[in-house]
Structure 1
Amino acid sequence: MAAAASSAWKTRWLRPEAYPIFAATGVAVGICVMQLVRNITTNPEVRVTKENRTAGILDNHDEGRRYSRHPFRRFIDGKSSEIMPAINNFFTDPSKS
């Protein structure tokens, strides 16, 4: 009986058509886990140990700046927010064509 139920589950969910939803869900879960770990380990407002929790409110602006200016944010600073700027410029600026 259990083998039949396992076989029915496999035939229903483990099809090639279902792989993209598994991949998208896996990426989303991975991003969530990465953000949770980042917040727990580096966020200056999160205090996990009891000794740190007793410290109260700290005015540590340098630590907060380091947390908010993470490497990915520094990488995208100054870059265009357009997805395809060359195509956008081609269609919006007729003087260049």
Structure 2
Amino acid sequence: MVYPLLGAMGFVTSMVVFQLTRNALFNPDCRINKAHRKMGILENEEEGEKYAQHNLRKYLRTRPPQVMPSLNRFFSEEDN
């Protein structure tokens, strides 16, 4: 009875850990390096653009904005 809840919580926890790790390691505004912390303003526009326009976002840009396109077509098309 508790296993589905544990599975869902495990999945959500792994998503949170992934996002925190991604932000800490790849976010251009996160200043872990001491040399970057010393600078007041970072000159990294191209790095920020690369972070914002990642491969998943580029892929999803070409996809239709539907979760289940075949199911949507099935229920939206009229039968003659």
Please give the range of the TM-score, normalised by the shorter of the 2 chains: 0.7 to 0.9
Unpaired segments ≥5 residues, structure 1: 1-16
> CA separation in 2, counterparts of 1:87 and 1:80?
13
Asked if residue 35 in structure 1 is aligned to residue 55 in structure 2, the reply is no
| 2:61 alignment partner in structure 1 | 77
User: SS in structure 2 opposite 1:80?
Assistant: coil
Contact 2:31 2:37 in 1 (8 A): yes
| Paired residues for 1:13-24 under 5 Å | 17-24=1-8
Asked if residue 88 in structure 1 is aligned to residue 72 in structure 2, the reply is yes
1:34-83 CA deviation, whole Å, 9 max, x = no partner? 11111111100000132211112123221011111222222212111212
Work out which of the residue numbers 29, 41, 44 in structure 1 matches 2:28. 44
Asked if residue 61 in structure 1 is aligned to residue 77 in structure 2, the reply is no
TM-score by length of 2: 0.84
RCO comparison, higher one (Cα < 8 Å, 6+): 2
Unpaired segments ≥5 residues, structure 2: none
The structure with the largest helix share of the pair is 1
Asked if residue 26 in structure 1 is aligned to residue 26 in structure 2, the reply is no
Number of residues of Structure 1 aligned to a counterpart in Structure 2: 80
Contact 2:28 2:48 in 1 (8 A): yes
1:17-41 CA deviation, whole Å, 9 max, x = no partner? 1111111111111111111111111
TM-score by length of 1: 0.71
